[in-house]
Amino acid sequence: MAEYKQLLFEQMIKDFAENEVKPLAQEIDEEERFPIETVEKMGKLGIMGIIVPKQYGGAGGDYNMYIRAVEEISKACGTTGVILSAHMSLCVAPILEFGTEAQKAKYLPDLASGKKIGAFGLTEPNAGTDAGNQQTVAVEKDDHYLLNGNKIFITNAGYADTYVVIAVTGKAAKGPEMSAFIVEKGMEGFSFGKKEKKMGIRGSATCELIFENVKVPKENMLGQRGDGFKIAMKTLDGGRIGIAAQALGIAEGALDETIAYVKSRKQFSKSLSAFQNTQFVIADLATKVAAARALVYIATDAKQKKLPTLSVNAAQAKLFASETAMEVTTKAVQLHGGYGYTREYPIERMMRDAKITEIYEGTSEVQRMVISGALLRK
């Protein structure tokens, strides 16, 4: 009977994206405004807690539904797609996977209902692709850890209440010992730095996190001491599927817009769609989008079934879907001609939004390292 669940969910999320997300896409981009009202709506419909089990207030849905949600929402608006993806993949998922019973009971209900938003802090000024080079430190003292340092480029920062933060807790055999913590907005000494002015996904909040002697209770350590890097990498494996779905959605949205445009726009007394160049470009783009979709769903299946291939599947999905999104949106602007370059049409926004998918949660180069590493290490 699972066919109904999937069928009804698809119907709902398409309706929601079309009627609630799409109408705001241009406005939140122009105004660089976080769409808090959309997050509230997603919370009320159970979208913010799709993968959270019922005992923690979630909908008890599956990973496949969550990925379809990111895809459909990103089709209408890349900003809204990444808000959901960062919340779910980078905060809800690690708490669900590595949290103690008490941590799950404390944090998941509010995250699942959308009352609170989640975020993840790994990246630092000198720890981007070189994520192991962490400078943020957490020193054990009495009943807490004293957290000091700063994180940059943090999606949902400021609006989020619950942060999964990676910090150095000591020395291990090879390099620093890292641990993960759940840090709450409002903890003394935790503040936000400047908000980045970005090329795309301009409605999403991207800020610096500043920790000055933040007392994080010991019970807020996520997983075991020293598990931080492992938790970060596993979290990013999941996160990459979310970003791959975002990229796929952006590409699909751009393709839909372009097909409608080339059918209506006339030059030399015929529709653009009647020119063979248009037909061949559309055929190639649609084929790449289909291939990206297949890779995203393979990775989603691997996550759902906890397959050992997850890491490579997720890296391949993200690499291909993000580069496809960039190619599709760039060629979509070209097919739109001068109009495509104006902000009258959504296609230039889609092109700007697509670019980030090749960069965050591991650049395309990092994905190639992950894929080749898994193949050549054997």
Report, as residue numbers or ranges, the catalytic residues: 361
11 binds other proteins (CB under 8 A): yes
Least distance (Å) from other proteins to the CB of residue 327? Answer: 31
8 Cβ contact list (under 8 Å, min separation 6):
none
Site string for other proteins, 51-70 (x = CB under 8 A): ---x----xxx---x-----
Q: What's the one-letter identity of residue 188?
A: E
Question: Do residues 131 and 100 make contact, with C-beta atoms less than 8 angstroms apart?
Answer: no
Beta strand extents in 185-313 (DSSP E only): 190-195, 206-217, 221-222, 266-267, 270-271
Structure tokens of 68?
A: 């379809």
Please identify, using beta-carbon distances, which residue of 13 and 321 lies nearer to other proteins. 13
Nearer to other proteins, 2 or 102 (CB): 2
Helices 347-357 and 228-264 cross at an angle (nearest 10°) of 160
Q: Which is nearer to other proteins, 56 or 320 (CB)?
A: 56
Residue with tokens 């609170």: 116
Query: Minimal CA–CA distance to 237: which of 371, 71, 134?
Result: 371
Element holding 102 (H helix, E strand): helix 101-113
Helix (H) or strand (E) holding 155, with range, is strand 144-155
Residues between 103 and 132 that touch other proteins (CB under 8 A): none
Enter the tokens of residue 194. 């400047």
For residue 120, the cross-strand partners are 164
Smallest distance from the beta carbon of 50 to other proteins, in angstroms?
6
- 28, 31, 37, 44: which one binds other proteins (CB under 8 A): 44
Residue with smaller CB distance to other proteins, 2 or 376: 2
Site size with other proteins, rule: CB under 8 A: 22
Q: Which helix (H) or strand (E) holds 373?
A: helix 364-376
Comparing CB distances to other proteins, the nearer of 47 and 250 is 47
Sole window of 4-12, 115-123, 202-210, 267-275 interacting with other proteins (rule: CB under 8 A): 4-12
Does position 16 interact with other proteins (CB under 8 A)? The reply is yes
- By CB under 8 A, tell whether 266 contacts other proteins: no
| Residues of the shown chain interacting with other proteins in the complex, contacts defined by CB under 8 A | 1-2, 4-5, 7-9, 11-12, 15-16, 44-47, 49-50, 54, 59-61, 65
